[in-house]
Chains A and B, each alone.
Chain A
Amino acid sequence: MVDATMPQSRAATPAVKRGGFHKAMQRRSTIAFLMASPLIVLIALLVVYPAGYAMYLAMLNKSMQRFVGFGNFLFLFKRDTFWLVVWQSCVFAITAVAFKALIGFIVAHFVHNIPNAKQRKWRGMLLIPWVIPPAMSTLAWLWLFDPSYSAFNWLLSFVGIGPIPWTGDANWARFSVILVNIWVGAPFFMIMYLAALKSVPEQLYEAAAIDGASWWQRIWYVTLPMMRNIIAITTLFSLIVTFANFDIVQILTAGGPIDRTHVFATWAFRLGIQSSDIPLGASVSLFMFPILGIAAIFILRDINRRGNESA
């Protein structure tokens, strides 16, 4: 609580004099602006400026001596690898997010079904993949996928399924990076959906049960409409994060075999940092921008809608 440490004399003088009110308001907004200024400086200098600078960089030649306009983009459009990366990024993000959402939804229902007292323990265990830094857990997956000592293949050999080239074959490698991404992200969806499930009033389900609704109708007509907003926000947010994912692909396959698992982030890293072609790398990473922008607009719309609902 607040202990009034201010001397009584100060409190007794009218804080807001006639005419001084405007000054007080002005002073208040100045203080507020000063309090927010480090944040503004940080965002302007290290987020907004670099984002704009990336656009400028993307229009230079490799040695960054000459302005080439859209030359880098035209160069990319002519390369097969570029279209491969576009396609792979989209497949990677959409598939992973769809499965994360589905698994999150299913697991959230299971957790919701068990007695409250036990939920905490299960929820705690299920969120662990999300807590471990992805760079570390991906190493464990890399080891599980190892070509010669794969612990998965050892288990599968008993079922008679021959050694699977988890990271060696293009399609298996694509499967593997998506699987690891699902593993990392599904718990996050589960937590979000569980919070949403808990906020659905029990009476709705009772009313549905009295009306003779099947479990499927209950999910379709009660649960999903009530959760629609959270589902939209979580999915869009995850789409951005997954689309821009770097750690998992970099550690698991580094884009290989023969570029068959590259996504925008890893390819930009390969070109910009490892091959020192900063303009080209910047051009590649800029292609993420439109997709991020569209998702961001929808997220903002949904969040504002939520705010209006709760108000």
Chain B
Amino acid sequence: MSTATMPLAGPGTRPRYGSMSNDRKWAMRWSYFFLSLFVVFFLTPPIYMFITSLKTSAEISAATNPWWVFNPTLDNYKELLTSNTYLIFFRNSAIVSIFVVTITMIISVPAAFALARMKFWGSATLATGVFLTYLVPDTLLFIPLFKMFATFHEWTGIQLINRWWVLLVIYPTLTVPFCTWIMIGYFASIPKELDEAALMDGANYRQILFRVFIPVALPGLIAATIFAFTVSWAQFLYPLAFTTSADQLVLPVGIITTLIKGDVFNWGQIMTGALLGAAPPLIIYAFLMDYYIAGLTAGATKG
């Protein structure tokens, strides 16, 4: 790619070519130097989480070097992974995220297929509407939703507030628009000849979707799945507003409400809890980084 290309001129430019590659070399060295600085800036908080998670309460409150662990211990991990409440938060987060990912895919893949390939009345408007929906933030909707749930309770007697499964109902509003949007992009990029060929072979729409589109657009599907999972796992405002009792909480809210008691911060436990809570998205990211990045850029570069 960016290797020094030979200039097309004669011998007169020779020395200049040498200087250019020299420039490149220096540009590269400087790039490495500055990138290292930025990596330090970007990775300090997670590394500090890890450092703190290995400390005892005594060492945290001692006036020693905070960036070093003198007596590493796994007590924080042991305590959290055997504590019932933390495991419940983890379980709630996992159940909610897996369900939401499933619901999201069931809704957005057929919808994206319909919007990308089968024109119907208002489909273009709907595609734009999907994108606009994606821009409506949770911070605008949580108050009316809160009141809607209360009204729903008055009418039907079914309580939605403080039930973890209410999150299954509202998280899709955050994931479905984006996933539909990027799947439209991926589906639209599939050459028309493929589905025409399938139609000629006598396939119906369901078969075209499952045998042609989903296999061909699988990278996009994986990217959308990862996105839906990450968003569900990280969502903080909705569970904070809609769930209160300890057995209904998900991880981000659970860590903040149970590990911080009044003014007492048990920092070792908080950092361990936060790190373990950040682990699932990080592990997925470690293995599927390219899909992650493809999904990120597809949202803006396609469509």
Residues of A whose CB lies within 8 Å of any CB of B are 1-6, 10-11, 15, 28-33, 35-36, 38-40, 42-43, 46-51, 53-54, 57, 64, 103, 106-107, 109-116, 120, 122-129, 131-137, 139-141, 143-144, 146, 149, 151, 154-155, 183, 186-188, 191-192, 195, 202, 206, 209-210, 230, 233-234, 237, 240-241, 244-247, 250-251, 264-265, 268-269, 272-273, 278, 281-282, 285-286, 288-289, 292, 295-296, 299-300, 303, 306-307
Contacts and interface: CB of A to CB of B under 8 A. Distances in A.
B69 interface: no
B219 interface: no
A282 B270 contact: no
Contacts of A140: 45-46, 48-49, 271, 274
Interface centre among B60, B143, B147 (most CB of A within 10 A): B143
A83 to B, nearest CB: 19
B137 A36 contact: no
Given A28-B120, A295-B135, A306-B301, 8 more contacts: A10-B202, A39-B107, A42-B173, A107-B34, A110-B38, A132-B282, A195-B297, A300-B128
B300 interface: yes
Nearest to B267: A143
Contact of B146 (A107, A234, A272): A272
A32 B5 contact: no
B118 A139 contact: no
Closest CB pairs A-B (n = 6): A133-B234, A244-B137, A32-B118, A29-B120, A265-B139, A135-B252
B28 interface: yes
A126 B197 CA distance: 44
A39 B108 contact: yes
Interface centre among A107, A188, A241 (most CB of B within 10 A): A107
Contact of B234 (A125, A135, A282): A135
Interface in B117-141: 118-121, 123, 126, 128-133, 135-141
Interface in B252-303: 252-253, 255-256, 265, 267, 270-271, 274-275, 277-278, 281-282, 285, 289, 292-293, 296-297, 300-301, 303
B252 A39 contact: no
B42 A129 contact: yes
Contacts of A10: 202
B207 A2 contact: yes
Interface residues of B, number: 110
Contact of A191 (B28, B143, B293): B293
Nearest to B32: A114
A53 B144 contact: yes
A195 B135 CA distance: 22
Contacts of A300: 128, 131-132
B179 to A, nearest CB: 10
B39 A126 contact: yes
Contacts of B172: 42, 46
Contacts of A246: 138-139, 236-237
A28 to B, nearest CB: 6
Contacts of A106: 34
A218 to B, nearest CB: 12
Contact of B237 (A127, A247, A296): A247
